[in-house]
Protein backbone atom coordinates (compact mmCIF):
# COMPACT_ATOMS: atom_id res chain seq x y z
CA UNK A 1 0.00 0.00 0.00
CA UNK A 2 1.15 3.54 -0.72
CA UNK A 3 1.56 5.64 2.42
CA UNK A 4 2.65 8.82 0.62
CA UNK A 5 1.75 9.80 -2.92
CA UNK A 6 2.39 13.00 -4.87
CA UNK A 7 0.78 13.27 -8.30
CA UNK A 8 1.96 16.04 -10.61
CA UNK A 9 2.31 18.48 -7.74
CA UNK A 10 2.95 22.15 -8.46
CA UNK A 11 3.59 24.58 -5.59
CA UNK A 12 4.29 28.26 -6.10
CA UNK A 13 5.12 31.02 -3.66
CA UNK A 14 4.10 34.11 -5.61
CA UNK A 15 6.29 34.07 -8.70
CA UNK A 16 8.65 31.37 -7.36
CA UNK A 17 7.82 27.86 -8.49
CA UNK A 18 9.07 25.69 -5.61
CA UNK A 19 7.78 22.39 -7.02
CA UNK A 20 7.16 21.82 -10.69
CA UNK A 21 5.18 18.68 -11.53
CA UNK A 22 6.56 16.44 -8.80
CA UNK A 23 5.34 12.84 -8.65
CA UNK A 24 6.49 9.98 -6.43
CA UNK A 25 5.07 7.24 -4.25
CA UNK A 26 6.40 5.82 -1.00
CA UNK A 27 5.10 2.45 0.10
CA UNK A 28 4.16 1.87 3.71
CA UNK A 29 7.21 0.85 5.70
CA UNK A 30 9.75 2.31 3.27
CA UNK A 31 12.58 4.54 4.49
CA UNK A 32 13.36 7.25 1.97
CA UNK A 33 15.86 10.12 1.99
CA UNK A 34 14.91 13.36 0.24
CA UNK A 35 18.04 14.95 -1.19
CA UNK A 36 18.58 18.16 -3.10
CA UNK A 37 20.56 21.39 -3.13
CA UNK A 38 19.49 24.47 -1.16
CA UNK A 39 16.15 25.72 -2.41
CA UNK A 40 15.36 22.49 -4.32
CA UNK A 41 11.93 22.15 -2.66
CA UNK A 42 12.56 19.55 0.08
CA UNK A 43 10.94 21.44 2.98
CA UNK A 44 8.05 22.45 0.73
CA UNK A 45 7.49 18.79 -0.16
CA UNK A 46 7.35 17.82 3.54
CA UNK A 47 4.99 20.71 4.36
CA UNK A 48 2.60 19.59 1.61
CA UNK A 49 2.56 16.01 2.96
CA UNK A 50 2.01 17.16 6.52
CA UNK A 51 -0.88 19.40 5.45
CA UNK A 52 0.70 22.77 6.19
CA UNK A 53 0.48 23.84 2.55
CA UNK A 54 -1.89 23.01 -0.28
CA UNK A 55 -0.60 22.33 -3.78
CA UNK A 56 -1.54 24.79 -6.54
CA UNK A 57 -1.96 21.85 -8.86
CA UNK A 58 -1.87 18.08 -8.57
CA UNK A 59 -2.62 15.93 -5.56
CA UNK A 60 -0.98 14.84 -2.31
CA UNK A 61 -2.28 11.73 -0.55
CA UNK A 62 -1.40 10.20 2.81
CA UNK A 63 -2.60 6.59 2.90
CA UNK A 64 -5.11 7.68 0.26
CA UNK A 65 -6.33 10.57 2.46
CA UNK A 66 -6.24 14.35 2.16
CA UNK A 67 -3.29 15.48 4.36
CA UNK A 68 -5.61 18.11 5.90
CA UNK A 69 -7.94 15.38 7.25
CA UNK A 70 -7.89 14.67 10.99
CA UNK A 71 -7.16 11.00 10.28
CA UNK A 72 -4.08 11.78 8.19
CA UNK A 73 -2.81 14.30 10.77
CA UNK A 74 -3.18 11.66 13.48
CA UNK A 75 -0.81 9.18 11.82
CA UNK A 76 1.95 11.66 10.94
CA UNK A 77 4.88 12.78 13.07
CA UNK A 78 6.68 15.85 11.73
CA UNK A 79 9.96 17.42 12.66
CA UNK A 80 10.17 20.82 10.92
CA UNK A 81 13.40 22.48 9.93
CA UNK A 82 14.38 24.81 12.78
CA UNK A 83 11.57 23.49 14.93
CA UNK A 84 10.45 25.81 17.68
CA UNK A 85 8.49 24.15 20.51
CA UNK A 86 6.44 26.35 22.89
CA UNK A 87 9.16 28.61 24.28
CA UNK A 88 7.36 29.68 27.47
CA UNK A 89 6.50 26.13 28.53
CA UNK A 90 8.94 23.75 30.18
CA UNK A 91 10.31 20.70 28.39
CA UNK A 92 7.94 18.40 30.30
CA UNK A 93 4.95 20.72 29.75
CA UNK A 94 5.61 20.73 25.99
CA UNK A 95 5.72 16.93 25.90
CA UNK A 96 2.64 16.47 28.10
CA UNK A 97 0.65 19.06 26.17
CA UNK A 98 1.38 17.55 22.76
CA UNK A 99 0.90 14.01 24.10
CA UNK A 100 -2.56 14.90 25.38
CA UNK A 101 -3.49 16.64 22.11
CA UNK A 102 -2.34 13.50 20.29
CA UNK A 103 -4.45 11.25 22.56
CA UNK A 104 -1.42 9.32 23.87
CA UNK A 105 -2.21 6.72 26.56
CA UNK A 106 0.02 6.60 29.60
CA UNK A 107 1.44 10.08 29.02
CA UNK A 108 3.77 10.09 32.03
CA UNK A 109 5.47 6.83 31.05
CA UNK A 110 5.91 7.91 27.45
CA UNK A 111 7.29 11.33 28.45
CA UNK A 112 9.68 9.78 30.99
CA UNK A 113 11.03 7.34 28.41
CA UNK A 114 11.69 10.07 25.85
CA UNK A 115 13.28 12.38 28.45
CA UNK A 116 15.69 9.63 29.44
CA UNK A 117 16.36 8.41 25.93
CA UNK A 118 17.21 11.86 24.62
CA UNK A 119 19.14 12.89 27.75
CA UNK A 120 16.64 15.67 28.49
CA UNK A 121 15.78 14.64 32.03
CA UNK A 122 17.94 17.33 33.65
CA UNK A 123 16.10 20.02 31.68
CA UNK A 124 12.53 18.78 32.21
CA UNK A 125 11.60 21.77 34.40
CA UNK A 126 13.41 24.34 32.28
CA UNK A 127 11.55 26.63 29.92
CA UNK A 128 12.34 25.92 26.29
CA UNK A 129 13.51 29.51 25.76
CA UNK A 130 16.49 28.76 28.04
CA UNK A 131 17.61 25.61 26.18
CA UNK A 132 20.55 25.30 23.80
CA UNK A 133 19.72 24.79 20.09
CA UNK A 134 20.67 21.11 20.31
CA UNK A 135 18.44 20.46 23.32
CA UNK A 136 15.57 22.23 21.54
CA UNK A 137 16.13 19.91 18.59
CA UNK A 138 16.01 16.87 20.90
CA UNK A 139 12.70 18.13 22.30
CA UNK A 140 11.33 18.73 18.79
CA UNK A 141 12.25 15.15 17.88
CA UNK A 142 10.55 13.84 21.01
CA UNK A 143 7.43 15.86 20.10
CA UNK A 144 7.42 14.30 16.61
CA UNK A 145 7.73 10.79 18.03
CA UNK A 146 5.51 10.96 21.12
CA UNK A 147 2.45 9.32 19.54
CA UNK A 148 4.39 6.53 17.76
CA UNK A 149 3.41 7.83 14.33
CA UNK A 150 2.96 5.47 11.38
CA UNK A 151 4.49 8.06 9.06
CA UNK A 152 7.48 10.18 10.03
CA UNK A 153 8.54 13.27 8.11
CA UNK A 154 11.87 14.57 9.32
CA UNK A 155 13.53 17.75 8.07
CA UNK A 156 17.26 17.56 8.87
CA UNK A 157 16.69 15.48 12.02
CA UNK A 158 20.30 15.42 13.23
CA UNK A 159 20.90 19.18 12.94
CA UNK A 160 22.55 20.61 16.07
CA UNK A 161 22.78 17.23 17.84
CA UNK A 162 26.00 16.09 19.52
CA UNK A 163 27.56 12.89 18.22
CA UNK A 164 26.36 10.54 21.01
CA UNK A 165 22.78 11.85 20.56
CA UNK A 166 23.04 11.46 16.78
CA UNK A 167 23.93 7.81 17.31
CA UNK A 168 21.03 7.28 19.74
CA UNK A 169 18.57 8.92 17.39
CA UNK A 170 19.79 6.87 14.43
CA UNK A 171 19.37 3.65 16.38
CA UNK A 172 15.92 4.76 17.62
CA UNK A 173 14.77 5.56 14.07
CA UNK A 174 16.26 2.32 12.75
CA UNK A 175 14.32 0.39 15.39
CA UNK A 176 11.02 1.78 14.04
CA UNK A 177 10.87 -0.91 11.40
CA UNK A 178 7.14 -0.58 10.64
CA UNK A 179 7.14 3.19 10.27
CA UNK A 180 7.24 4.92 6.90
CA UNK A 181 9.97 7.56 6.89
CA UNK A 182 10.81 10.46 4.61
CA UNK A 183 13.95 12.25 5.77
CA UNK A 184 15.30 15.42 4.23
CA UNK A 185 19.05 15.74 4.64
CA UNK A 186 22.15 17.26 3.07
CA UNK A 187 24.40 14.61 4.51
CA UNK A 188 24.80 11.49 2.40
CA UNK A 189 26.15 9.36 5.24
CA UNK A 190 22.98 10.10 7.23
CA UNK A 191 20.81 9.24 4.22
CA UNK A 192 22.61 5.90 3.92
CA UNK A 193 22.12 5.06 7.58
CA UNK A 194 18.46 6.00 7.74
CA UNK A 195 17.11 5.08 4.32
CA UNK A 196 17.34 2.47 1.61
CA UNK A 197 15.85 4.65 -1.13
CA UNK A 198 16.39 8.21 -2.25
CA UNK A 199 14.43 10.86 -4.09
CA UNK A 200 16.68 13.54 -5.54
CA UNK A 201 15.07 16.92 -6.12
CA UNK A 202 16.64 19.76 -8.04
CA UNK A 203 15.06 23.06 -8.92
CA UNK A 204 11.62 21.77 -7.91
CA UNK A 205 11.79 18.60 -9.99
CA UNK A 206 12.53 14.96 -9.26
CA UNK A 207 15.79 14.19 -11.07
CA UNK A 208 16.26 10.66 -9.79
CA UNK A 209 14.61 8.15 -7.50
CA UNK A 210 15.54 4.62 -6.59
CA UNK A 211 17.59 2.44 -4.28
CA UNK A 212 20.66 4.07 -2.75
CA UNK A 213 22.68 1.02 -3.79
CA UNK A 214 21.81 1.72 -7.46
CA UNK A 215 23.34 5.21 -7.32
CA UNK A 216 26.77 3.61 -7.66
CA UNK A 217 25.87 2.60 -11.23
CA UNK A 218 26.04 6.26 -12.27
CA UNK A 219 29.56 6.72 -11.01
CA UNK A 220 33.03 5.78 -12.04
CA UNK A 221 34.91 3.13 -10.14
CA UNK A 222 35.62 4.32 -6.59
CA UNK A 223 33.76 7.60 -7.16
CA UNK A 224 32.35 8.83 -3.82
CA UNK A 225 28.56 8.68 -3.62
CA UNK A 226 28.47 12.41 -2.74
CA UNK A 227 30.09 13.22 -6.09
CA UNK A 228 27.55 11.08 -7.98
CA UNK A 229 24.64 12.74 -6.17
CA UNK A 230 26.09 16.22 -6.80
CA UNK A 231 26.17 15.48 -10.54
CA UNK A 232 22.54 14.31 -10.50
CA UNK A 233 21.52 17.47 -8.65
CA UNK A 234 23.30 19.66 -11.18
CA UNK A 235 21.66 17.92 -14.13
CA UNK A 236 18.66 20.31 -13.92
CA UNK A 237 19.32 24.04 -13.94
N1 LIG B 1 7.44 31.06 2.46
C2 LIG B 1 8.07 31.23 1.31
N3 LIG B 1 7.88 32.33 0.56
C4 LIG B 1 8.50 32.50 -0.63
N5 LIG B 1 9.35 31.60 -1.17
C6 LIG B 1 9.57 30.48 -0.47
C7 LIG B 1 8.96 30.24 0.80
N8 LIG B 1 9.39 29.03 1.26
C9 LIG B 1 10.23 28.55 0.33
N10 LIG B 1 10.35 29.41 -0.71
C11 LIG B 1 11.14 29.21 -1.94
O12 LIG B 1 10.76 27.96 -2.49
C13 LIG B 1 11.90 27.26 -2.98
C14 LIG B 1 12.02 25.92 -2.29
O15 LIG B 1 12.30 26.14 -0.91
P16 LIG B 1 12.44 24.95 0.14
O17 LIG B 1 12.60 25.58 1.48
O18 LIG B 1 11.34 24.00 -0.06
O19 LIG B 1 13.82 24.28 -0.33
P20 LIG B 1 14.77 23.24 0.42
O21 LIG B 1 15.15 22.22 -0.59
O22 LIG B 1 14.13 22.76 1.67
O23 LIG B 1 16.04 24.16 0.75
P24 LIG B 1 17.18 24.07 1.88
O25 LIG B 1 17.99 22.84 1.60
O26 LIG B 1 17.98 25.33 1.64
O27 LIG B 1 16.50 24.06 3.23
C28 LIG B 1 13.09 28.21 -2.76
O29 LIG B 1 13.29 28.95 -3.95
C30 LIG B 1 12.63 29.10 -1.64
O31 LIG B 1 13.27 30.36 -1.68
What was the pLDDT predicted at 234?
84
pLDDT value at 195 more than 70 = yes
pTM of the model: 0.94
Residues 36, 7, single domain; the answer is yes
Q: Is residue 40 part of a domain?
A: yes
How many domains does the structure of the chain reveal? 2
Backbone φ and ψ of 69, nearest 5°: -70, 150
Whether residue 173 lies inside any domain: the answer is no
Secondary element (H or E) of residue 191: helix 188-194
> 201 with 214, same domain?
yes
The residue-averaged pLDDT of 179-208 equals: 95
Is residue 167 assigned to a domain?
A: no
Q: Are strands 16-27 and 2-13 parallel, antiparallel or unpaired?
A: antiparallel
**Domain that includes residue 96, residue range:** 81-148
Whether the complex's predicted ipTM is more than 0.85 is answered with yes
Q: For residue range 36-78, list pLDDT tens digits in order.
A: 999 999 999 999 999 999 999 999 999 999 999 999 999 999 9
Question: What pLDDT, on a 0 to 100 scale, did the predictor assign at position 223?
Answer: 84
Question: Domain of 23: which CATH number?
Answer: 3.40.50.300
Whether residue 190 has pLDDT greater than 70: yes
155 shares a domain with 65: yes
Residues 122 and 186 in one domain: no
Q: How far is CA 32 from the centre of its chain?
A: 10
State whether 70 and 91 are in the same domain. no
CA of 36, closest atom in ligand 1 = 21
Shared-domain flag, residues 95 and 185: no
State whether the beta carbon of 38 lies less than 6 angstroms from ligand 1. yes
pLDDT band at 229 (very low <50, low <70, confident <90, very high): confident
Q: What share of the chain is helix, strand, coil (3-state, %, to 5)?
A: 40, 25, 35
39 Cβ below 6 A of ligand 1:
yes
- Asked whether 42 lines ligand 1 (CB < 6 A), one says yes
The stretch 184-196 carries a mean pLDDT of 93
Same domain, yes or no: 37 and 111: no
Amino acid sequence: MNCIELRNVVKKYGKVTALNNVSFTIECGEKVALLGPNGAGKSTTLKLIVGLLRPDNGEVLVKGLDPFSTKARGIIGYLPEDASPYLMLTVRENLEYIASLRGVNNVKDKVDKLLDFLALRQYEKNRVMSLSRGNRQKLALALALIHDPEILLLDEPLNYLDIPTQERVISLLNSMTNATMLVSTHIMSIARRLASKVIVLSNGQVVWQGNISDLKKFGEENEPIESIVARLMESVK
